[in-house]
Structure 1
Amino acid sequence: MPVLVVIPARYASTRYPGKPLVALTGAGGQARSLIRRSWDAAMQVGGVDRVVVATDDDRIRTAAEGFGAEVVMTSEACANGTERVAEAHAALGGGYDVVVNLQGDAPLTPHWFVEDLIAGLRSDAGAGLATPVLRCDGRALNGFLADRKAGQVGGTTAVFDRDRRALYFSKEVVPYTSVIYGDDDPTPVFHHVGVYAYRPDALAAYPGWTQGPLETLEGLEQLRFLENGHRVLCVEVEARGRQFWELNNPGDVPRIEAMMAEMGIE
């Protein structure tokens, strides 16, 4: 079953324009762009047949081609990463059984998150797509709550049923809990990791659906699948001592760099 990984990247981010080209300095003092670090993360995933960057911006294309990435140019009209991945997959002529959307703002994504995600989708014939979820420890949950108190979005949370079928995704912290957790305590809140593995038919259908009210309100592309009655499989992944954070706001840069230093990521 051939697997394609697409890294969608756009320059004109509403919250953080130019984000893919922002430099992140690793533990050894070497600065690399966000898109480069996302590419490096993708190249560590086992069982992948091809990795491409999908963008509509020549600055990102130039940067990506400069470090050896294959680039697919896509339309400026793509409303989100899933639409961009669908367009890139079509432009490449299809032929892949699993298409992974490794979003370009998650450079700390461990390779086993994606490997477990692909395995989860393959094991569930009824799911059109799968996405990873990571149980928050107290430190991660408190970080989410602090960001929301400051009027920022630190990450997305997910709730799902006993069969791991997604019930909802939100930029708010759900479910609500009044318990105070220590840094290393497990919590009932799951961080949605911004990676998706699609079956080609579900991916191809997505751009033809209009945005629903929930997707519009939350600004979360995966809600379009739920609003159109498609099953989204949540695959629980394990941190294995690794910290994970997405780059959503300028304030996330020092946070991610501190995590990289702590984990020894060059």
Structure 2
Amino acid sequence: MDTVILIPARYASTRYPGKPLAVLTGPDGTKTLIQRSWEAAMAVPEADAVFVATDDARIAEAARGFGAEVIMTSEDCRNGTERCADALARGGLSPELVVNLQGDAPLTPHWFLSDLIAAMRRDETLDAATPVLRCDPETLSMFLEDRKNDRVGGTTAVFDAGQNALYFSKEVIPYTGGKSFDPGAVPVFHHVGVYAYRPRALTAYGQWAEGPLEKLEGLEQLRFLENGAKLKCVEVDAKGRLFWELNNPEDIARIEKVLNA
């Protein structure tokens, strides 16, 4: 297999226990978050296979119920990247590319993953890459609203002139000072919770200890930066759609609004 999509999902989330089984209602009816994330992955034409990677029997049962293939992983996995590495080993998989689609992102358009895969195929020196999306004024206001209400919401990213990540944060970076911006000119980039890795990058990741910044922010991708590894940011285009992840119970209404628009 050339490209495999793994959807890491755990039940024991600190901020939102049971999140993968949260129910979202759209024009196609009521479905769990994990099912909508799986359907998003299945729409990616470059994927040779899609697996749900979990350590929880309830998530596994639900996933098999809607037709997903499941790889059971260790309970010791601390984040999605570790779970992907574990799933790769336990599933006996040997693809050229592994794509990690977080199980809380049902609004991820298939072309986000296609663009990410294309970037990895264009440059074989890339070990890992992740999409970033320039915020529009509405999305920036959602970020600022979450922080004002002391909610940990989406993640922002800053990167250098070569599109290599400099930092990721749950805070809104860079600081905008309450300024207003025209659509297409907002200097804040929303980090899309998707990653593409070559297997060697997953092997290296598993050998690194969890760093202080990763612990503080609760962001697994900072482990690459704390160990001097490059993580390429690939800018994607939402094509007029609103993109948001399910981070808190309050996000259900936001996502359902988009599903039903």
Range into which the TM-score falls when normalised by the shorter chain:
over 0.9
Aligned length: 261
Residue 95 of structure 1: aligned partner:
94
Residue 24 of structure 2: aligned partner:
24
Matched, 1:233 2:232: yes
Matched, 1:205 2:204: yes
Quote the Cα distance in structure 1 between the aligned partners of 2:93 and 2:42. 20
Residue 8 of structure 1: aligned partner:
8
Matched, 1:222 2:221: yes
SS in 2 for 1:245: coil
Gaps of 5+ in 2: none
Residue 37 of structure 1: aligned partner:
36
Quote the Cα distance in structure 2 between the aligned partners of 1:166 and 1:59. 36
Residue 122 of structure 2: aligned partner:
123
Q: CA deviation at 1:200?
A: 0.6
CA spacing shift, 1:100–1:164, aligned 2, 3 Å: same
Residue 68 of structure 2: aligned partner:
69
Using the aligned pairs only, state the percent identity. 64
Question: Does the Cα contact within 8 Å between 1:138 and 1:186 map onto a contact in 2?
Answer: no
Quote the Cα distance in structure 2 between the aligned partners of 1:141 and 1:62. 37
SS in 2 for 1:178: coil
Question: Does the Cα contact within 8 Å between 2:165 and 2:231 map onto a contact in 1?
Answer: yes
Question: Does the Cα contact within 8 Å between 2:134 and 2:184 map onto a contact in 1?
Answer: no
CA offsets per residue over residues 228-264 of structure 1, 9 Å max, x none?
11110000000111111000000100111011111xx
Letter in 1 for 2:26: G
SS in 2 for 1:4: strand
CA spacing shift, 1:240–1:202, aligned 2, 3 Å: same
Q: CA deviation at 1:180?
A: 3.0
Letter in 1 for 2:7: I
Structure-1-length-normalised TM-score: 0.95
Kindly report the root-mean-square deviation, in angstroms, between the aligned alpha carbons of the 2 structures: 1.2
Residue 260 of structure 2: aligned partner:
261
Q: CA deviation at 1:124?
A: 2.5
Letter in 2 for 1:20: P
CA offsets per residue over residues 49-100 of structure 1, 9 Å max, x none?
1100000000000000001100000011000000000000111223200000
Question: Does the Cα contact within 8 Å between 2:156 and 2:189 map onto a contact in 1?
Answer: yes
Quote the Cα distance in structure 1 between the aligned partners of 2:210 and 2:237. 32
CA offsets per residue over residues 184-206 of structure 1, 9 Å max, x none?
45300000000000011011221
Question: Does the Cα contact within 8 Å between 1:44 and 1:111 map onto a contact in 2?
Answer: yes
Quote the Cα distance in structure 1 between the aligned partners of 2:30 and 2:57. 21
Question: Does the Cα contact within 8 Å between 2:35 and 2:66 map onto a contact in 1?
Answer: yes
Question: Does the Cα contact within 8 Å between 1:166 and 1:233 map onto a contact in 2?
Answer: yes
Quote the Cα distance in structure 2 between the aligned partners of 1:52 and 1:156. 25
Letter in 2 for 1:17: P
Residue 136 of structure 1: aligned partner:
135
Quote the Cα distance in structure 1 between the aligned partners of 2:183 and 2:163. 24
Structure-2-length-normalised TM-score: 0.97
List 4+ stretches of structure 1 deviating above 4 A.
none
Matched, 1:59 2:58: yes
SS in 1 for 2:133: strand
Q: CA deviation at 1:182?
A: 5.8
Question: Does the Cα contact within 8 Å between 2:158 and 2:189 map onto a contact in 1?
Answer: yes
SS in 2 for 1:133: strand
Gaps of 5+ in 1: none
Q: CA deviation at 1:127?
A: 2.2
